[in-house]
Amino acid sequence: MKPIIAVTMHTGDKKLEINETYIQSVELAGGIPLCIPHLAAPEAEAVLNKVDGLLLIGGHDVDPYLYGQEPHHKLGIFHTKRDNSDLEILQSAFNRQMPILAICRGHQVLNIAFGGTLIQDIPAQWEQSFAHAQASMRDVATHTVKITGQKLGAILGAQQIRTNSFHHQAIDQLGEGLVTAGIAADGINEAVEHSDHPFCIGVQWHPEAMAPFGDEHSIKLFKAFIEACK
């Protein structure tokens, strides 16, 4: 039986949605994606009883109240229901030692869940930053990431990779138990892994946008995630 992966969804205008490449990447790696709505704690527990792993996808900004800050004037849209749902199911999955892969916004939610904070707007709050919101197509790699995490490094088999980039926020202070697993040339955190969990990894880039088009490192990451879910 292929592992079943709970996949969170993006909040649209009176709808929930997900980019097809998340589905494709899970399927190509050997998993069965199960897209889930925003759930309260009891429903999240019920879903986790039926699945083997959790994939937190990208999306809008996160409410800065959740990490003890007032809104910066460059803060974008956030959705409280989704924020709370993502945090609930993430914490439940972590407590079960269930494999977790968190992408972009999910990477940031992972940090917040363990008491970390965010840079609310990179151009306004981070000196000497380069472009982290690329204009190129989603499957195009535009900047390098130095891989510093032991777990992520073993998965990717590389000390440096090239990635795509679609974010204006980033991790600032690391949450408890998290270690930096990847860093951009301008110092922005690009990946984390949890020291007390067998597979709890967050990446700021979008490997799901590159894996279906043959990107070696993106494919390796999804395959390692699905393998951990077996």
Residues known to be catalytic: 104, 206, 208
- Residue 227 · residue 37 · CB < 8 Å: no
Q: What's the burial of 1, exposed, middle or buried (CB within 10 Å: 0-12/13-18/19+)?
A: exposed
- Residue 225 · residue 29 · CB < 8 Å: yes
Question: What secondary structure letter does DSSP report for 8?
Answer: -
Q: CA-CA-CA-CA torsion for 136, 138, 140, 144, nearest 10 degrees?
A: 100
Task: Tally Cβ neighbours within 10 Å of residue 198.
Answer: 11
